[in-house]
Amino acid sequence: MRWAAWPRLLGTTTRGDGTTQVTYHGHPLYYFIADSAAGLATGEGINAFGARWEVVNAAGVAVVK
């Protein structure tokens, strides 16, 4: 499946430490610690922290393994 993020749903929030966190539809976006270089999508499709994790690229397009 290929889909793209809706730009109007992208935003930011200020974290407790004062840094800026990118959000999508109010949900924080994260880097996956096991991805050590551009183009890696190791975290795609894993279930962790109570939810399925999906990977999107900088253009907001789903990265599917």
Structural domain containing residue 24 = 7-63
For 1-65, list the strands marked E by DSSP. 10-14, 20-24, 27-28, 47-48, 51-52, 55-56, 62-63
Of 30, 39, 46, nearest to 63 by C-alpha is: 39
Tell me if 1 is assigned to some domain.
Answer: no
Tell me if 2 is assigned to some domain.
Answer: no
Can you tell me the distance from the alpha carbon of 61 to that of 17, in angstroms, rounded to the nearest whole number? 29
With a cut of 80, say whether residue 11 has pLDDT above it.
yes
Q: What is the mean pLDDT of the chain?
A: 82
pLDDT at 3: 62
Q: What is the domain count for the chain?
A: 1
With a cut of 80, say whether residue 35 has pLDDT above it.
yes
Mean pLDDT score, 3-27: 87
Give the tens place of pLDDT for each residue, 43-60. 888 888 888 888 877 777
| pTM > 0.75 | no
